[in-house]
Amino acid sequence: MNFSEYFPVFSKLTKQEQLALTDSVTLRKMKKGTVIHGGDEECLGLLVIRSGQLRSFIFSEEGREITVYRLFDHDICLFTASCVMKSIQFDVTVSAEKDTDAWIVPIGVYQRLMENSAVIANYTNEIMASRFTDVMWLVEQIMWKSFDKRLADFLAEECIIEETDILRITHEQIASHLGTAREVVTRMLRYFQSEGIVKLMRGSIRIIDMEKLSDMSR
């Protein structure tokens, strides 16, 4: 599959707009752990994920992190192109959670298309609305949901993403996703273990009662 099949509104563009995209787009391979956006990184352009996984997060002055959202195959990362939208007055960091292949639409090309094409501008709108929805979901989670439920939710989601019931993840990494301290995660995981929901092993967590885990996250 090539770029045009990953860019949903491609067929609605004029021939000229389609050429501007296909002539300028490049495929980039990013190793797991690479910081793609944030801090001193330049504004890369619009990123269309062919395969892999990206994580978008913010951090406090003390260096504590919280995951804002994650992106998968076919998703589009708007914040690597956020410099074209002057009203975005916040910064998120985007890094590759897995080895990732993504097409990059250069920032200048994207900006020109957006300024002139209502189709591209409205599509950009839809992407932003999706990310906005992710963040509102996050606000509801941190405001109204107790930590045991959030942790159960996270573990269940990880099992779906990784297609396994043995998660190779440290307590520290979970803490960075959920915006809390490692000790808080460890304490709650031990409670989950005492309830027969998980088994804690060196460097990994095995889910032994998926039904109870799902019940808990509700």
Binding site for a copy of itself (CB under 8 A): 58, 60-62, 64, 66, 68, 85-90, 92, 114-118, 120-122, 124-133, 135-140, 142-144, 179
Count Cβ atoms within 10 A of the Cβ of residue 125 and give its class: 0-12 exposed, 13-18 middle, 19 or more buried.
Answer: exposed
Stated as kind and residue range, the H or E segment containing 71 is strand 65-71
Task: Quote the CA–CA distance of 214 and 156 in Å, as a whole number.
Answer: 7
Query: Could you tell me the smallest distance in angstroms from the CB atom of residue 89 to a copy of itself?
Result: 4
Q: Which is nearer to a copy of itself, 131 or 207 (CB)?
A: 131
Q: Which of 80, 123, 88 is nearest to 104 (CA)?
A: 80
Nearest approach in angstroms of CB 136 to a copy of itself is 4
Q: How many residues in the chain?
A: 218
Indicate the residue among 176 and 192 with the shorter CB distance to a copy of itself: 176
Tokens of 131: 């990310």
d(CA 218, CA 215): 6
Considering the complex, state which of residue 152 and residue 159 has its C-beta at the smaller distance from a copy of itself: 152
| 147 membership: H or E segment, kind and range | helix 147-162
Q: How far is the CB of 96 from a copy of itself (least distance, A)?
A: 22
Closest distance to a copy of itself from the beta carbon of 200 (Å)? 26
Distance CA 188, CA 147 (A): 8
Residue 128 or 156: the one with the smaller Cβ distance to a copy of itself is: 128
What is the residue whose two structure tokens read 């292949």? 101
Dihedral sign (CA 97, 78, 51, 99) = negative
Neighbouring CB atoms inside 10 A of 105's CB total 24
The distance of closest approach from Cβ of residue 75 to a copy of itself in the complex, given in angstroms and rounded to an integer, is: 13
**Residue placing its CB nearer to a copy of itself in the complex, 116 or 204:** 116
Q: In whole angstroms, how close is the CB of 31 to a copy of itself at the nearest point?
A: 28
Closer of 51 and 125 to a copy of itself (Cβ): 125
